[in-house]
């Protein structure tokens, strides 16, 4: 029998790692994930995904991914962020191959260094908390406007992103002033993948960039008093919609998240309703 909703575990992960044959690897990952639901993307630059299922099935899948030398090694292991589920977050398992694991339309992307999710710019949740307390830091939210509107780190700047290019335009506009004032940028996103993809481009503009290791989800998972830093809810891209600072589902529905008067949010609302019916 399938697990009851209360027994479901959600696991999200990503890895920037050169993949010579994403199609072949997708077939392997699909076989590893049998019995789970979720969304997984393979690309020449790596893997990005989230799955859900019985805890023992999720753990077996994670162990299989860790054992795959195509995606990991002992020195640079995959990292997984966990949360319990009341609502089944996915209707089925989908493993796809795309040109990128996250597409952000960054300028001159081909000339940028490869993202490195293990470099020294990544701060633990405790070190992140200490950095946020500094007066000179730009605390930059690297998510969509509707995500910032729903919840954010206290004092975080909203770049007003309705489309990927909006983040690029915001940073390019403000980078000269940040550089002149020698202000470091503390950047965060939900799980870390957007920040890792964006950081090399921001450094190419002469900015000093720090990142929250593992993103918001790792911060909430690690610190029992995360609500000291976090206000509101954290949007998640699955049927649960939103989590609180203890990674518990809030009951918030899509109508409370998306503004149908904004074109980019109207289609997201329509898609969320379709997913809810799937």
Query: 75-122: per-residue pLDDT in tens?
Result: 778 899 999 999 999 999 999 999 999 999 899 888 899 999 999 999
What pLDDT shows up at residue 110? 80
Co-location of 236 and 184 in the same domain: yes
Co-location of 114 and 78 in the same domain: no
Q: What's the predicted TM-score (pTM) here?
A: 0.93
Of 85, 189, 195, 234, catalytic = 189
Active site residue 195: no
The whole domain housing 260 covers 109-277
Co-location of 222 and 136 in the same domain: yes
Co-location of 164 and 123 in the same domain: yes
Co-location of 125 and 262 in the same domain: yes
Q: Within a domain: residue 14?
A: yes
Co-location of 123 and 200 in the same domain: yes
Co-location of 175 and 210 in the same domain: yes
Co-location of 195 and 82 in the same domain: no
Contacts of 85 (CB under 8 A, 6+ apart): 5, 8, 9, 10, 52, 240, 249
What pLDDT shows up at residue 4? 44
What pLDDT shows up at residue 274? 75
d(CA 183, CA 142): 17
Co-location of 71 and 116 in the same domain: no
Contact call for residues 83 and 10 (beta carbons, < 8 A)? yes
Give the residue ranges of the chain where pLDDT is below 50. Answer: 1-6
d(CA 240, CA 229): 22
Co-location of 119 and 191 in the same domain: yes
Boundary-marking domain end, from 74, 97, 120:
97
What pLDDT shows up at residue 2? 45
CATH number at residue 49: 3.30.70.100
What pLDDT shows up at residue 208? 98
d(CA 265, CA 262): 5
With residue 204 as reference, give the H or E element that holds it: helix 193-204
| Residue spans of beta strands (DSSP E) within the chain | 8-16, 37-43, 46-53, 81-85, 93-97, 122-123, 138-141, 151-153, 185-188, 209-212, 230-232, 234-235, 242-243
Co-location of 180 and 254 in the same domain: yes
Co-location of 116 and 71 in the same domain: no
């Amino acid at each position: 029998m399938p697990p009851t909703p209360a027994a479901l575990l959600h696991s999200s992960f990503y890895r920037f790692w050169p993949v010579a044959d994403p199609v072949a690897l997708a077939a392997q990952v699909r076989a590893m994930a049998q019995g789970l639901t979720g969304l997984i993307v393979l690309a020449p630059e790596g893997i990005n995904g989230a799955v859900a299922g019985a805890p023992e099935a999720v753990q077996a899948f994670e162990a299989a991914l860790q054992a795959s030398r195509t995606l990991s090694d002992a020195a640079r292991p995959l990292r997984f962020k966990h949360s319990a589920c009341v609502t089944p977050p996915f209707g089925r398992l989908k493993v796809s191959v795309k040109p990128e694991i996250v597409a952000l339309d960054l300028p001159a992307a081909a000339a940028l260094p490869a993202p490195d999710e293990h470099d020294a710019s990544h701060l633990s949740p405790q070190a992140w908390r200490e950095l946020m307390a500094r007066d000179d830091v730009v605390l930059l939210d690297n998510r969509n406007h509707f995500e910032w509107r729903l919840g954010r780190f206290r004092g975080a700047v909203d770049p007003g992103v309705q489309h990927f290019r909006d983040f690029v335009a915001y940073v390019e506009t403000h980078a000269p002033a940040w550089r002149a004032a020698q202000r470091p940028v503390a950047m965060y996103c939900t799980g870390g993948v957007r920040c890792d993809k964006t950081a090399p481009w921001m450094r190419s503009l002469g900015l000093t960039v720090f990142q929250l290791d593992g993103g918001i989800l790792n911060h909430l998972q690690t610190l029992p008093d995360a609500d000291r830093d976090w206000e509101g809810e954290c949007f998640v891209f699955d049927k649960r919609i939103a989590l609180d600072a203890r990674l518990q589902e809030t009951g918030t529905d899509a109508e409370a998240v998306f503004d149908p008067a904004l074109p980019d949010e109207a289609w997201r609302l329509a898609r969320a309703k379709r997913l809810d019916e799937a």
